[in-house]
Amino acid sequence: MTDENAGYQNAQSGEPLALEKRVEEADGRRFSPSTGRNKDIVRDTFLEVMPRQGRVLEIASGTGEHGVHITAVAHDLNWTYSDIDPVSQASQLAWRNHVSHDRLDGPMTVDTTHADWGDVEKAAPWNGMFCANMIHIAPFSAAEGLLAGAGRLLAPGGRLMLYGPFARAGEIAPSNARFSEDLQRRDASWGVRDLDLEILPLANAAGLRLATVKAMPANNLSVVLEKG
């Protein structure tokens, strides 16, 4: 493995897309330290609250580790990677080539700030969507587009799982408040979102109801929204 000290940036804009250094294998598979820490609990929560059969679209797949980890135990699940970042997509493809099963697809290109998600629209309806650690590291329009896209492209009864830090009805854990301030110093359009005040109104407008909220380590939440 080589330590990737060059940072992690959008190939087109040069803007930073992730906040930590990544490690890369010779075959292109990348590893995120934070994903390494949370992937077991995220997988176990996914298995509890999300469909275990059918087709799941992952938004903002990053290194691709969540999809590998979940499909290793969910044998009836087909998982499609997507991202806006070619460097991340290369890692997702490398993970797809690495595994011995054929239930990883993509990577597709989805920018949730766009109203049309291209080929992903044609592949709808999806049984599930999964998005970890994206909506606070992107402009609010990315959250708006994500919720609208889930409402548009999920099958009836299909679920969207969000994982990451949130505020709740104006209350925010001190560690998340510090994190949000740090994000906003990097980019004023980033920041930890308020589940009740900002995200659930978007969900309601998109025809999604709150199915469950699970507390996760380090003041994170898993939020599950279901299409009516």
Task: List binders of ligand SAM among 199-218 (CB under 6 A).
Answer: none
Q: Which amino acid is at 228?
A: G
HSE, side-chain direction, 13 A CA sphere, residue 12: 3
Q: Is 124 helix (H, G, I), strand (E, B) or coil?
A: coil
153 contributes a contact to ligand SAM by CB under 6 A: no
CA 129/CA 204 separation, integer angstroms: 17
88 contributes a contact to ligand SAM by CB under 6 A: yes
134 contributes a contact to ligand SAM by CB under 6 A: yes
Q: Name which position in 78, 91, 133, 176 contacts ligand SAM (CB under 6 A).
A: 133
Stretch that binds ligand SAM, among 78-86, 154-162, 173-181, 182-190 (CB under 6 A): 78-86
What values do phi and psi take at 226, rounded to 5? Answer: -120, 135
What does each C-alpha distance from 210 to 35, 193, 195, 206 come to in angstroms?
Answer: 25, 16, 10, 12
* E strands in 84-181: 104-109, 126-132, 154-167
Q: Name which position in 24, 105, 111, 226 contacts ligand SAM (CB under 6 A).
A: 111
Stretch that binds ligand SAM, among 45-53, 80-88, 99-107, 205-213 (CB under 6 A): 80-88
Cβ-based nearer residue to ligand SAM, 67 or 171: 67
Binding site residues, ligand SAM, CB under 6 A: 17-18, 32, 35, 59-63, 83-85, 88, 110-113, 132-134, 137-138, 142
